[in-house]
Amino acid sequence: MTPARVDPADDPLAELADLLLNVARLVRARTPSGPEVVALTETERTVMRVVDLHPGSAPSEIARRARLQRTNVSAALQTLEGKGMVSRTSGSGRGVTVVPTDLARANLRSLRASWSQELAGVVDDLDAVRRCNEVLATLEHHLTSEAGDG
């Protein structure tokens, strides 16, 4: 059964995407800076998200999941390694794999604490937040998997 066509102006999925992009921009604008947080570029943040979710991934897998060019991922990994955020290891017959470092885990904890504080009290229904998180995780999984290729 083919889903009914919805006018893009009234499409709730389009509205969701629009809101996500803007809320993400606003949260990022309020993200702390300073010695307690390692500053990352947009590409580095994208690569770190994949590395955090899929530790032990090869650079080519990171590029595929992040929807980035392999050369951009290689450059980001080099700078992330220089910042102490990732470690690259040679696997047995698997080539190079990438894992987050203790510094990266501490950095993410600091960021998440800041984001939590920023959003605390805005939405009182934490069950609704959990349901929203499940939906967003499903969307992220789809968009970073082979299923999201088509």
* CATH number of 52's domain: 1.10.10.10
Measured CA to CA, the distance from residue 150 to residue 118 in angstroms comes to: 36
pTM more than 0.75: yes
CB-CB contact of 47 with 76 (8 Å): yes
Expressed as residue numbers, the domain containing 81 is 36-116
pLDDT tens sequence across 1-28 = 556 666 777 889 899 999 999 999 999 8
| C-alpha dihedral, 146 to 52 to 86 to 104, nearest 10° | 160
The whole-number pLDDT of residue 148 equals 53
Judge whether 146 lies within some domain.
Answer: no
Report DSSP letters for the chain, one per residue. -PPPP--TTT-HHHHHHHHHHHHHHHHHHT---STTS----HHHHHHHHHHHHSTTB-HHHHHHHHT--HHHHHHHHHHHHHTTSEEEEEETTTEEEEEE-HHHHHHHHHHHHHHHHHHTTT---HHHHHHHHHHHHHHHHHHHSGGGG-
In a domain, residue 6? The reply is no
Would residue 148 count as lying in a domain? no
Residue 150 placed within a domain: no
Flag whether 94 is in a domain: yes
pLDDT (0 to 100) of residue 1: 55
Pick out the chain residues at pLDDT < 50. Answer: none
Q: Please count the structural domains in the chain.
A: 1
In a domain, 109, yes or no: yes
Share of the chain above pLDDT 90, in %: 68
Residue 72 lies in a domain: yes
Give 94-120 as a 3 state SS string: CEEEEEECHHHHHHHHHHHHHHHHHHC
Identify whether 141 is part of a domain: no
